[in-house]
Every structure is written in C-alpha cells, then in structure tokens.
Structure 1
Amino acid sequence: MAHKHSLEALNRILKDIKNNDKLFGGTLLVLSGDFRQTLPVIPRSTYADEINACLKSSTLWRNVEIVQLKVNMRVQMLQDPSAETVSKQLLDIDDGKVTIAETGYIKLANDFCTIIDSQDALIEQIFPDVHTNYINLEWLAERAMLAAKNVDVDILNLKIQQLLPGDLVSYRSIDTVCDGTEAVNFPTEFLNSLDLPGMPPHNLQLKVGSPIILLRNLNPPRLRNGTRLVIKKIMKKVIEGTILNGKLRGENILIPRIPIIPTDH
C-alpha cells in the first residue's frame, strides 16, 4: 500500500546518511505485501494514478527479488477444512482462475457462499435471538457482518440495535466550523449531512449491548484501530465498554468524547 515516492525518498535518505551510492546505501530492505489486495490509495484519482503510484511503476522495482510465502498460517492454525476451502477459492479469484461471465463479472462457484434473500434473514442467520444472546460476550465476539457500502452498514446497524432491549442514545458530532468567519458558507444543515470516510456518522446511535469497533489508535496495543468492544454503560461524554477480542478480552475500558478534525476538509 506504500506509495512509490516513500521508498524512493528512503533510498535517497539512506544514500546520504551512509555516504554510499549503492541502492538504499547498501542496506538490505525486506518488504512484505500482496498486490492482489489494496494498492496505494490516491484520493480523487483514476485507476492509472493508482497503478502509477505502485511500487511496480518505480525504477526500484527492477532490483526487487520476489520471495513467495506458500502456506496460509492462519488457516493452518485453525485446522478448519472450511477455512482452507474459502482461502483457496479467494486465491483462485485473485489469480484469475475462475470463469468470467459474458457481462464481464466473475462467476462464483455454487458452493462459494450461502445466498440469503433479505437483510432480515441475514440478521437472523448471523445473530439468532440477539435480544437474549447479546449478554454472552463469547457468542457476540465470534459474529460479525461486513458490507461494501457505509449506507448498508448504517441500515444493518439500526435494524440489529432495534432488536436489543433498551432505548437508543444519540451522540451528535460538533457541527460548527473552526473559523467563525466561514459560518455563512457552511450552514449547520450542510455540516450535519456530511459522512466523511474513517469517521463516525454525524448522528451516532448506540445502545447498551451494541458491539462497536474503534476507528483510531487510542492507547496501543490496548485500544487500537480495529479493537472490538461491546457497550456496557452509556454516559453523556463517556462510554464504558468491554473488549471482545485480543489478549485483553473481557477488560472494561472508558472511551471519552474526543474532538476529531479531518485533515482534508
């Protein structure tokens, strides 16, 4: 995911520091990654811009020796045949070994997944009897739903939370501009309509018992991006939660209200 300019800058810096004209100042550099996953993210760019930012488009690429890892250690440690099957199916898609339909879309195998007719049926399949089972943290920790678009995430979150007992509590973001002279150009209604990537929605609705996920590193490695928690208590400016995953599973923590200002707005 690193931009090629980052490595090119590192190359020049190491040459200067070590006073050596060899590549990276004669230092052996080990890189890890997979081009079948996420390429460098370039805001408001085209496909060509992303390819151009990739390491393969750099003059450094001709000096890279590729070493491949063949064993999926996560699957091997699980010792689950179904996980091995899914891993192989995903690699076949990445390697272009699956059939392409006339429409140009990938045609998945019939046994690739289970097709559900509606969102309600999906919720019942993943979270059966959630109104009673949500108090079982182990049961909650092994369940999650993914969606391609944020709008689908919001709809699913609201539907699942409505199945939990208790009332929804709304946490609204600060809707004033930093520069008071710009208030006329950015009315409150406009600020409330913004849904910025990597940030919670303007009106964040939560319930006791709702699973949540952190979007920022607050106190690594204890509280970092991706840590899953379940809400234990809701207060005006603080949320008390219980960690669901990792070595600190079961530990109670407090999340205060934190001002976050996007760098590109």
Structure 2
Amino acid sequence: MSAVSRGKGGVFFVYGYGGTGSDLTGLLMKTKLIIWDEAPMMHKYCFEALDRSLKDVMQFVNPANQDITFGGKVVVFAGDLRKILPVVPKGSRQDIVFSAINSSYLWDFCRVLRLTKNMRLTTGSIGGPNDGEADIEIPHEMLVDGGHDPIATIVESTYPDIADHIWEPSYFQERAILAPTNEIAETVNDHVLSQLPGEERTYLSSDAISVEEGNFGIHEMYSTEFLNTIKCGGLPNHSI
C-alpha cells in the first residue's frame, strides 16, 4: 500500500509498507502529474536530480524515456521568480541567479503559463472603483480613544497594570502590539520600559570594523556615527 503526500517546498514524499525500492519505483511509474510548489525558492540542482531520477526509473517502461525530460512525466513548477530566490550561503548576486531554475538546462523544456485572473474575487462581491485608497469603517467597540497620548493609551489598553504582572510570562505571551514602522515600535518599547520598575542600563554595540574580511575603505566611506544610526529589521540597534 502506498500514498503520496506533499511536503516542504511542494516536494512530494512517498510512503509505503516496507519502504522497499520496488514500491517507490512502481508508484513513480504510475504517477501522471507532479506539482512542485514555490519552485523558484529551490536550487536548480534539485530539479536536475529529479530529472535524472525519473529518467532512470522510466527507462524500464520504455528505453526511449531515458532521453526525455523527466522521463516523460508532466511536472508543474508553481511560483513567482520575482519573489524569494534560492538562498546561497555567502553567495554573490551572480551565484543566486545562477542557482535559479531558469538557469538550468531544464528551462529550455519549460512552458511559462501566467495567471491573469484572481479566482478569489469570483466568489465575493467587489466594491466600486477607487484610486487605490478607500475608507474602512471600524466598529466602535474595537476602537481605543487615544486622547492626548495615543502610545500611552494603547500600552495601557494592551498591558493593564503592567507593573503588577512583570514576573508573569503568560501575561506578555498573550499580548502584543503591532506597529507599522520600526520607529513606532521603538517608541512603544521605550514607553513600556519607562513603566517597569528597576534601574535602567544602556548597552552599546561594538563599533569596530574588521579589516581582515576585505572591508578596506569602509571606514573612510562611512563614519562610525552614521553606522550606529542604522535601524532596520534583523539588525539590533546600536543602543539597547
């Protein structure tokens, strides 16, 4: 008995009693269609390995299949090349582009089909024409009156009596404030910290530039003060 299940990246996995090679080979021979979702995120070697494997399997059905792409099987690659490409550790831009599926020899045998109709909108009602902006009415019971200090009001609404629950992990795990920008998130964090008891300490990041990794000239192009002002996702602030 065998079954097919979809795993990470859209790759199909095969399960069978005993896990014998003959079960897997037999299932691949019966397969009519293989769908690989988010294909642009995978390295081209993954598809080329599948191509060689299917050729080896399908040659037992017909020796001519050894010379046919994917052994004659229909393979659908779903995804968008304008989104996330394969991750190449310490790779250059050229390395990443070269690892994409459209850099493989298999791309010459692919037919590109573009989706032009939003199927989700066919099941619902669509509003009138607009210029990309629209007013959304939020129910009154969901609104928080910000008053003169919106940040303080939001923090108090989300974390009431925060000083009394500072040592309760579940109190913070069950609550969160979403901020549209990093600057606002930092403002909220500063306000929350001001409500907590205890002595405040400031920790600064290291401001040394390593010249052993080929970073010559960076200290001449950018000052240390400028580098310390950079605030972005995934990079801790200079001052914490």
Name the TM-score, length of structure 2 as normaliser.
Answer: 0.50
CA contact (8 A) 2:144 2:153 kept: no
Shift of 1:101: 7.9
CA contact (8 A) 2:179 2:185 kept: yes
Work out which of the residue numbers 197, 203, 227 in structure 2 matches 1:191.
Answer: 227
Aligned to 1:142: 174
Greater Cα radius of gyration, structure 1 or 2: 2
Unaligned runs of 5+ in 1: 43-52, 65-90, 205-265
Between 1 and 2, higher relative CO (CA 8 Å, sep ≥ 6) is seen in 2
Is 1:104 matched with 2:122?
no
TM alignment of 1:50-199, pairs within 5 A: 62=113, 97=125, 99=127, 102=130, 104-111=132-139, 113-117=142-146, 118-179=150-211, 181-182=216-217, 183-199=219-235
CA contact (8 A) 2:39 2:77 kept: no
Distance 1:7 1:60 in 2: 18
CA contact (8 A) 2:231 2:237 kept: yes
Distance 2:40 2:126 in 1: 34
TM alignment of 1:24-43, pairs within 5 A: 26=73, 40-41=83-84
Corresponding letter in the other structure for 1:142: E
Count of paired positions: 159
Work out which of the residue numbers 24, 43, 50 in structure 2 matches 1:14.
Answer: 50
Secondary structure at 2:203 match in 1: strand
Shift of 1:158: 0.4
CA contact (8 A) 1:15 1:22 kept: yes
Distance 1:124 1:25 in 2: 63
CA contact (8 A) 2:228 2:238 kept: yes
Shift of 1:168: 2.3
Q: Cα distance 1:100–1:187, how it changes in 2: closer, same or farther (>3 A)? A: farther
CA contact (8 A) 1:193 1:202 kept: yes
The share of aligned pairs that are identical, in percent, is 19
CA contact (8 A) 2:38 2:77 kept: no
Unaligned runs of 5+ in 2: 1-8, 10-36, 56-65, 86-99, 101-106
Secondary structure at 1:203 match in 2: coil
Aligned to 2:96: none
Q: Deviations over 1:189-210 (max 9, x none)?
A: 1221122331211112xxxxxx
Shift of 1:160: 0.6
Name the TM-score, length of structure 1 as normaliser.
Answer: 0.46
Shift of 1:141: 1.4
Q: Deviations over 1:111-161 (max 9, x none)?
A: 294244212111110011112222222222101111121111111000011
Secondary structure at 1:123 match in 2: helix
Distance 2:135 2:230 in 1: 36
Q: Higher helix fraction: Structure 1 or Structure 2?
A: 2
Secondary structure at 1:169 match in 2: coil
Corresponding letter in the other structure for 2:222: F
Distance 2:209 2:71 in 1: 45
Shift of 1:6: 3.7
